[in-house]
Protein backbone atom coordinates (compact mmCIF):
# COMPACT_ATOMS: atom_id res chain seq x y z
CA UNK A 1 0.00 0.00 0.00
CA UNK A 2 2.88 2.36 0.86
CA UNK A 3 4.57 1.61 -2.48
CA UNK A 4 1.32 2.29 -4.31
CA UNK A 5 0.94 5.64 -2.55
CA UNK A 6 4.49 6.62 -3.53
CA UNK A 7 3.78 5.71 -7.16
CA UNK A 8 0.58 7.76 -7.17
CA UNK A 9 2.32 10.77 -5.62
CA UNK A 10 5.22 10.45 -8.07
CA UNK A 11 2.81 10.24 -10.99
CA UNK A 12 0.95 13.33 -9.76
CA UNK A 13 4.20 15.25 -9.37
CA UNK A 14 5.31 14.32 -12.88
CA UNK A 15 1.90 15.19 -14.29
CA UNK A 16 1.97 18.56 -12.52
CA UNK A 17 5.43 19.30 -13.93
CA UNK A 18 4.32 18.32 -17.44
CA UNK A 19 1.18 20.44 -17.26
CA UNK A 20 3.16 23.35 -15.83
CA UNK A 21 5.76 23.05 -18.58
CA UNK A 22 3.03 22.98 -21.22
CA UNK A 23 1.40 26.09 -19.78
CA UNK A 24 4.72 27.96 -19.58
CA UNK A 25 5.58 26.95 -23.16
CA UNK A 26 2.17 28.07 -24.38
CA UNK A 27 2.42 31.44 -22.62
CA UNK A 28 5.88 32.15 -24.05
CA UNK A 29 4.66 31.13 -27.51
CA UNK A 30 1.49 33.19 -27.20
CA UNK A 31 3.53 36.25 -26.28
CA UNK A 32 5.88 35.90 -29.25
CA UNK A 33 5.40 33.62 -32.25
CA UNK A 34 1.68 33.19 -31.61
CA UNK A 35 0.84 36.78 -30.69
CA UNK A 36 -1.49 38.92 -32.81
CA UNK A 37 -1.62 42.43 -34.25
CA UNK A 38 -2.79 44.96 -31.66
CA UNK A 39 -5.31 46.74 -33.90
CA UNK A 40 -7.89 44.46 -35.50
CA UNK A 41 -8.43 44.73 -39.25
CA UNK A 42 -11.97 45.99 -38.84
CA UNK A 43 -10.78 48.82 -36.57
CA UNK A 44 -7.90 50.09 -38.74
CA UNK A 45 -9.77 52.88 -40.53
CA UNK A 46 -11.47 54.08 -37.35
CA UNK A 47 -8.22 54.16 -35.36
CA UNK A 48 -6.10 55.89 -37.99
CA UNK A 49 -8.83 58.36 -38.90
CA UNK A 50 -8.38 59.81 -35.42
CA UNK A 51 -4.60 59.60 -35.23
CA UNK A 52 -2.60 62.76 -34.70
CA UNK A 53 -1.72 64.29 -38.05
CA UNK A 54 -4.66 62.58 -39.79
CA UNK A 55 -2.49 60.13 -41.80
CA UNK A 56 -5.39 58.69 -43.80
CA UNK A 57 -6.39 62.16 -44.99
CA UNK A 58 -2.78 62.99 -45.83
CA UNK A 59 -2.49 59.74 -47.80
CA UNK A 60 -5.08 61.07 -50.24
CA UNK A 61 -2.55 63.69 -51.37
CA UNK A 62 -0.66 60.90 -53.15
CA UNK A 63 -1.40 58.35 -55.85
CA UNK A 64 -1.34 54.82 -54.49
CA UNK A 65 -2.43 51.31 -55.33
CA UNK A 66 -3.46 48.47 -53.05
CA UNK A 67 -1.83 45.22 -54.10
CA UNK A 68 -1.57 41.55 -53.21
CA UNK A 69 1.78 40.00 -54.05
CA UNK A 70 2.35 36.27 -54.42
CA UNK A 71 4.81 34.75 -51.96
CA UNK A 72 5.14 31.22 -53.36
CA UNK A 73 7.71 30.06 -50.79
CA UNK A 74 5.09 30.62 -48.08
CA UNK A 75 2.01 29.74 -50.12
CA UNK A 76 0.03 32.95 -49.62
CA UNK A 77 -0.36 36.53 -50.83
CA UNK A 78 1.16 39.59 -49.17
CA UNK A 79 -1.03 42.65 -48.70
CA UNK A 80 0.61 45.94 -49.59
CA UNK A 81 0.20 49.55 -50.62
CA UNK A 82 2.49 51.19 -53.19
CA UNK A 83 2.55 54.98 -52.84
CA UNK A 84 4.05 57.23 -55.51
CA UNK A 85 5.94 60.38 -54.65
CA UNK A 86 4.49 63.57 -56.11
CA UNK A 87 7.97 64.20 -57.48
CA UNK A 88 8.77 61.95 -60.48
CA UNK A 89 11.40 59.51 -59.24
CA UNK A 90 12.81 56.02 -59.65
CA UNK A 91 14.00 55.87 -56.02
CA UNK A 92 12.02 53.48 -53.84
CA UNK A 93 11.90 52.36 -50.21
CA UNK A 94 10.15 49.39 -48.60
CA UNK A 95 9.04 49.91 -44.99
CA UNK A 96 8.88 46.75 -42.86
CA UNK A 97 6.94 46.76 -39.60
CA UNK A 98 7.52 44.74 -36.45
CA UNK A 99 5.58 42.21 -34.41
CA UNK A 100 1.94 43.04 -33.56
CA UNK A 101 2.09 46.15 -35.77
CA UNK A 102 0.77 46.86 -39.30
CA UNK A 103 1.78 48.97 -42.26
CA UNK A 104 -0.53 51.86 -41.36
CA UNK A 105 1.72 52.52 -38.35
CA UNK A 106 4.42 53.54 -40.83
CA UNK A 107 2.51 56.16 -42.77
CA UNK A 108 4.28 59.02 -40.98
CA UNK A 109 7.69 57.66 -41.99
CA UNK A 110 6.31 56.99 -45.47
CA UNK A 111 5.39 60.66 -45.86
CA UNK A 112 8.94 61.66 -44.95
CA UNK A 113 10.35 59.44 -47.70
CA UNK A 114 7.67 60.54 -50.18
CA UNK A 115 8.50 64.19 -49.59
CA UNK A 116 12.18 63.42 -50.11
CA UNK A 117 11.57 61.95 -53.56
CA UNK A 118 11.06 58.26 -52.81
CA UNK A 119 8.17 56.04 -53.80
CA UNK A 120 7.12 53.95 -50.79
CA UNK A 121 6.08 50.32 -50.59
CA UNK A 122 4.21 49.46 -47.41
CA UNK A 123 3.18 45.89 -46.73
CA UNK A 124 1.82 43.74 -43.94
CA UNK A 125 4.18 41.07 -42.70
CA UNK A 126 2.87 37.51 -42.36
CA UNK A 127 0.11 36.93 -39.80
CA UNK A 128 -0.93 40.58 -40.17
CA UNK A 129 -3.83 42.26 -41.92
CA UNK A 130 -4.85 40.26 -44.98
CA UNK A 131 -1.42 38.72 -45.48
CA UNK A 132 -1.37 34.95 -44.93
CA UNK A 133 0.45 33.02 -42.24
CA UNK A 134 -0.60 31.68 -38.85
CA UNK A 135 2.34 32.97 -36.83
CA UNK A 136 5.34 35.27 -36.64
CA UNK A 137 8.63 33.55 -37.40
CA UNK A 138 10.86 36.50 -36.46
CA UNK A 139 12.32 36.85 -39.96
CA UNK A 140 12.78 33.19 -40.86
CA UNK A 141 9.87 33.00 -43.31
CA UNK A 142 9.23 36.74 -43.49
CA UNK A 143 12.42 37.19 -45.52
CA UNK A 144 10.79 35.41 -48.47
CA UNK A 145 7.82 37.79 -48.37
CA UNK A 146 10.25 40.71 -48.50
CA UNK A 147 12.03 39.10 -51.45
CA UNK A 148 8.77 38.97 -53.39
CA UNK A 149 7.78 42.49 -52.40
CA UNK A 150 11.22 43.72 -53.52
CA UNK A 151 10.80 41.87 -56.81
CA UNK A 152 7.42 43.57 -57.31
CA UNK A 153 8.94 47.05 -56.84
CA UNK A 154 11.99 46.22 -58.95
CA UNK A 155 9.74 45.17 -61.82
CA UNK A 156 8.17 48.63 -61.71
CA UNK A 157 11.55 50.39 -61.64
CA UNK A 158 14.15 47.94 -62.95
CA UNK A 159 16.89 50.58 -63.06
CA UNK A 160 15.80 52.44 -59.95
CA UNK A 161 17.22 52.53 -56.44
CA UNK A 162 15.55 50.28 -53.85
CA UNK A 163 16.06 50.21 -50.09
CA UNK A 164 14.41 48.30 -47.24
CA UNK A 165 13.89 49.98 -43.86
CA UNK A 166 12.72 47.82 -40.97
CA UNK A 167 12.03 48.27 -37.26
CA UNK A 168 12.37 45.63 -34.50
CA UNK A 169 11.21 42.33 -36.06
CA UNK A 170 11.05 44.27 -39.33
CA UNK A 171 14.71 45.16 -38.84
CA UNK A 172 15.53 41.50 -38.25
CA UNK A 173 13.53 40.66 -41.38
CA UNK A 174 15.56 43.00 -43.59
CA UNK A 175 18.78 41.64 -42.09
CA UNK A 176 17.70 38.03 -42.66
CA UNK A 177 16.73 39.02 -46.20
CA UNK A 178 20.17 40.48 -46.89
CA UNK A 179 21.53 36.95 -47.10
CA UNK A 180 19.16 35.77 -49.83
CA UNK A 181 19.40 39.16 -51.56
CA UNK A 182 22.85 38.13 -52.80
CA UNK A 183 21.18 36.04 -55.52
CA UNK A 184 18.92 38.58 -57.28
CA UNK A 185 20.16 41.84 -55.75
CA UNK A 186 16.74 43.47 -55.75
CA UNK A 187 17.59 45.57 -52.67
CA UNK A 188 20.38 48.15 -52.90
CA UNK A 189 20.61 49.12 -49.22
CA UNK A 190 19.17 48.34 -45.80
CA UNK A 191 18.19 50.44 -42.79
CA UNK A 192 17.74 48.33 -39.64
CA UNK A 193 16.32 50.10 -36.58
CA UNK A 194 16.47 48.19 -33.25
CA UNK A 195 17.01 44.59 -34.43
CA UNK A 196 17.82 41.52 -32.33
CA UNK A 197 20.91 39.55 -33.28
CA UNK A 198 19.23 36.23 -32.51
CA UNK A 199 15.68 35.21 -31.64
CA UNK A 200 16.75 33.42 -28.48
CA UNK A 201 18.02 36.66 -26.98
CA UNK A 202 14.84 38.55 -27.90
CA UNK A 203 12.76 35.86 -26.19
CA UNK A 204 15.00 36.00 -23.12
CA UNK A 205 14.54 39.74 -22.77
CA UNK A 206 10.79 39.36 -23.25
CA UNK A 207 10.57 36.81 -20.44
CA UNK A 208 12.76 38.90 -18.15
CA UNK A 209 10.50 41.91 -18.74
CA UNK A 210 7.57 39.95 -17.29
CA UNK A 211 9.53 39.62 -14.03
CA UNK A 212 7.69 36.46 -12.90
CA UNK A 213 8.84 35.33 -9.42
CA UNK A 214 10.37 31.84 -9.09
CA UNK A 215 10.29 31.22 -12.85
CA UNK A 216 13.78 30.55 -14.23
CA UNK A 217 14.19 32.43 -17.52
CA UNK A 218 16.22 29.61 -19.09
CA UNK A 219 13.48 27.10 -18.27
CA UNK A 220 10.71 29.32 -19.65
CA UNK A 221 12.70 29.96 -22.81
CA UNK A 222 13.35 26.24 -23.29
CA UNK A 223 9.64 25.44 -22.90
CA UNK A 224 8.74 28.23 -25.33
CA UNK A 225 11.26 26.88 -27.80
CA UNK A 226 9.83 23.36 -27.55
CA UNK A 227 6.27 24.63 -27.99
CA UNK A 228 7.36 26.70 -31.00
CA UNK A 229 9.00 23.66 -32.59
CA UNK A 230 5.87 21.54 -32.18
CA UNK A 231 3.37 24.25 -33.12
CA UNK A 232 5.21 26.23 -35.81
CA UNK A 233 7.90 23.85 -37.04
CA UNK A 234 11.01 25.87 -36.21
CA UNK A 235 13.07 26.74 -33.17
CA UNK A 236 14.84 29.81 -31.88
CA UNK A 237 18.22 28.62 -33.13
CA UNK A 238 16.95 28.89 -36.72
CA UNK A 239 16.76 32.68 -36.42
CA UNK A 240 20.17 34.31 -36.14
CA UNK A 241 20.33 37.61 -38.05
CA UNK A 242 23.96 38.11 -37.08
CA UNK A 243 24.89 35.02 -39.09
CA UNK A 244 22.85 36.13 -42.11
CA UNK A 245 25.18 39.08 -42.76
CA UNK A 246 28.48 37.21 -42.78
CA UNK A 247 28.80 37.14 -46.57
CA UNK A 248 26.65 40.05 -47.71
CA UNK A 249 27.78 42.83 -50.05
CA UNK A 250 24.81 45.21 -49.71
CA UNK A 251 25.20 48.44 -47.66
CA UNK A 252 23.56 48.38 -44.23
CA UNK A 253 22.83 51.12 -41.68
CA UNK A 254 22.11 49.93 -38.12
CA UNK A 255 20.31 52.27 -35.70
CA UNK A 256 19.82 51.47 -32.02
CA UNK A 257 19.00 53.25 -28.77
CA UNK A 258 21.21 52.41 -25.80
CA UNK A 259 18.18 52.34 -23.45
CA UNK A 260 16.47 49.60 -25.47
CA UNK A 261 15.27 46.81 -23.15
CA UNK A 262 13.33 44.92 -25.84
CA UNK A 263 16.29 44.31 -28.16
CA UNK A 264 19.56 45.24 -26.49
CA UNK A 265 21.78 47.67 -28.41
CA UNK A 266 24.59 45.11 -28.25
CA UNK A 267 22.59 43.20 -30.89
CA UNK A 268 23.30 45.88 -33.48
CA UNK A 269 26.95 45.91 -32.46
CA UNK A 270 27.18 42.14 -32.96
CA UNK A 271 25.50 42.36 -36.36
CA UNK A 272 27.68 45.29 -37.41
CA UNK A 273 30.86 43.43 -36.47
CA UNK A 274 29.79 40.45 -38.60
CA UNK A 275 29.26 42.47 -41.78
CA UNK A 276 32.36 41.82 -43.92
CA UNK A 277 32.40 45.04 -45.99
CA UNK A 278 32.89 48.72 -45.14
CA UNK A 279 29.64 50.00 -46.67
CA UNK A 280 28.09 49.87 -43.24
CA UNK A 281 27.35 52.20 -40.36
CA UNK A 282 26.29 51.80 -36.72
CA UNK A 283 24.50 54.63 -34.94
CA UNK A 284 24.03 54.10 -31.20
CA UNK A 285 21.82 56.79 -29.66
CA UNK A 286 22.26 57.49 -25.96
CA UNK A 287 19.19 57.08 -23.76
CA UNK A 288 16.75 56.19 -26.55
CA UNK A 289 14.36 53.27 -26.04
CA UNK A 290 13.13 50.59 -28.46
CA UNK A 291 12.31 51.99 -31.95
CA UNK A 292 11.97 55.50 -30.50
CA UNK A 293 14.83 57.17 -32.37
CA UNK A 294 12.58 58.96 -34.85
CA UNK A 295 10.16 60.06 -32.12
CA UNK A 296 13.04 61.58 -30.14
CA UNK A 297 15.22 62.97 -32.92
CA UNK A 298 12.74 63.86 -35.65
CA UNK A 299 14.47 65.43 -38.65
CA UNK A 300 17.94 64.33 -37.52
CA UNK A 301 16.84 60.68 -37.85
CA UNK A 302 16.18 60.98 -41.57
CA UNK A 303 19.07 63.36 -42.16
CA UNK A 304 21.40 60.60 -40.99
CA UNK A 305 19.67 58.04 -43.20
CA UNK A 306 19.97 60.23 -46.31
CA UNK A 307 23.60 60.95 -45.45
CA UNK A 308 24.28 57.22 -45.24
CA UNK A 309 22.62 56.64 -48.62
CA UNK A 310 24.62 59.47 -50.21
CA UNK A 311 27.93 58.20 -48.83
CA UNK A 312 27.61 54.41 -48.84
CA UNK A 313 25.15 53.46 -51.58
CA UNK A 314 26.21 53.24 -55.20
CA UNK A 315 24.34 55.70 -57.38
CA UNK A 316 22.00 54.32 -60.04
Whether pLDDT at 2 is above 90? no
Which residue, among 237, 131, 169, 67, has the nearest Cα to 177 in the 3D structure? 169
pLDDT at position 10: 65
189-204 tens-digit pLDDT: 999 999 999 999 999 9
Could you give the domains of the chain?
1-30+199-238 (no CATH), 48-198+239-312 (3.40.50.1820)
Q: What is the DSSP string of the chain?
A: -HHHHHHHHHHHHHHHHHHHHHHHHHHHHHTTTT---SS-GGGHHHHHHSSTT-HHHHHTTSEEEEEEEEETTTTEEEEEEEEE-SS---EEEEEE--TT--GGGGHHHHHHHHHTT-EEEEEPPTTSTT---SS--TTTTHHHHHHHHHHHHHHHSTTSEEEEEEETHHHHHHHHHHHHHHHH----EEEEES--S-HHHHHHHHHHHH--TT--HHHHHHHHHHHHHHHHS--GGG--HHHHTTT--S-EEEEEETT-SSS-THHHHHHHHH--SSSEEEEEETT--TT-HHHHHTHHHHHHHHHHHHHHSPP-
Dihedral over Cα of 228, 232, 238, 241: its sign: negative
Q: What is the pLDDT of residues 225-239, one digit of tens each?
A: 999 999 999 999 999
Tell me what pLDDT residue 6 has.
73
Residue 283 has pLDDT above 70, yes or no: yes
Q: What is the mean pLDDT of residues 77-94?
A: 98
Going by pLDDT thresholds of 50, 70 and 90, the confidence category of residue 1 is low
Asked if 132 contacts 202 with a C-beta cutoff of 8 angstroms, the reply is no
Average pLDDT, the chain: 95
Q: What is the pLDDT of residue 167?
A: 98
53 vs 172, more confident: 172
pTM (2 decimals)? 0.94
Amino acid sequence: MKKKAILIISALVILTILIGSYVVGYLVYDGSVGSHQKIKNEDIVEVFSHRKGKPLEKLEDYKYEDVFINSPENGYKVEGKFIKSNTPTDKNIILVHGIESNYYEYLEKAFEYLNHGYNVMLYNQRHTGHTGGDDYTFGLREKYDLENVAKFVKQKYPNGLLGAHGHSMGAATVIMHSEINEKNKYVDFYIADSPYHEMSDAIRLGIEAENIPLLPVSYARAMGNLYTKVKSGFNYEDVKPYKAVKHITTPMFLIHGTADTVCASKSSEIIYNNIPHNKKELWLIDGVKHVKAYDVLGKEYFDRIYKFIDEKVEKK
